[in-house]
Chain A
Amino acid sequence: KAGVTQTPRYLIKTRGQQVTLSCSPISGHRSVSWYQQTPGQGLQFLFEYFSETQRNKGNFPGRFSGRQFSNSRSEMNVSTLELGDSALYLCASSLAPVEGANEKLFFGSGTQLSVL
């Protein structure tokens, strides 16, 4: 069974640009969550999508957005990139058989975004 797939693996952008990251969850998983990992702030929750609806959002500015498609694949978008957006962006999927269930998350290898 394929794991969580994130593309691209590495990305270099310049300030002011926008970027879209993609995440394909494990087959059958309905929930996709996004996390940002930086050396200074550590791992921080961005948002979660379940059945194409955003259910939870972390404390990030509106420049960070996402969506989920009917096949559970998810994308996150960051507009007007800033230097501080340089980070490893991790996607996680889970079965979520029951909304709100606290089952384990399966993480992808992440997209390393560098903003110059």
Chain B
Amino acid sequence: AQKVTQAQTEISVVEKEDVTLDCVYETRDTTYYLFWYKQPPSGELVFLIRRNSFDEQNEISGRYSWNFQKSTSSFNFTITASQVVDSAVYFCALVVSGSARQLTFGSGTQLTVLP
């Protein structure tokens, strides 16, 4: 069985601060995919990134960056120079090969960016 742990339930930062959201996963499969989704108050989950288990290269997209470390089973997400619009719930998720769309989600981290 798969498991995703987001130990940070809520994080509050002041605008322009950097913030890192932690994600730790468990799986026995060697082929899997990791995702980050953002859920604003409107409810829909917005896709941010997908990473497969064979690609440990870190990725940067604008103010967002992701650090994937198989050795520690972690897939952390950093927002640089946070903005009020970044306030949302962020979910980390895992899917193993062959399970297609059956994602296992973490419990989410509520990020509040204060002006």
- Which of A's residues lie within 8 Å of B, judged by CB? 3-4, 31, 33, 35, 42-45, 48, 50, 55-56, 58, 88, 90, 92, 94, 96, 99-110, 112
A48: B residues at CB distance < 8 A: 100-102
- Which of B's residues lie within 8 Å of A, judged by CB? 33, 35, 37, 42-47, 50, 52, 91, 93, 95, 97-108
B50: A residues at CB distance < 8 A: 102-104
Contact yes or no, B100 A104, CB < 8 A? no
Q: How far is the CB of A23 from chain B (nearest CB, A)?
A: 12
A107: B residues at CB distance < 8 A: 37, 44-46
Q: How far is the CB of B105 from chain A (nearest CB, A)?
A: 4
**B98 (CB) vs chain A CBs: closest residue:** A100
Contact yes or no, B100 A110, CB < 8 A? no
Minimum-distance CB pairs A-B, first 8 = A107-B45, A43-B105, A33-B101, A109-B44, A109-B43, A110-B43, A102-B33, A104-B47
Q: Could you list some 18 contacts between A and B, CB below 8 A?
A: A42-B105, A42-B108, A43-B103, A45-B101, A45-B102, A45-B103, A88-B43, A90-B45, A94-B101, A100-B98, A102-B33, A102-B52, A102-B97, A102-B100, A103-B50, A105-B103, A107-B37, A110-B44
**A45 (CB) vs chain B CBs: closest residue:** B102
Give the docked Cα–Cα distance between A55 and B98 (Å). 11
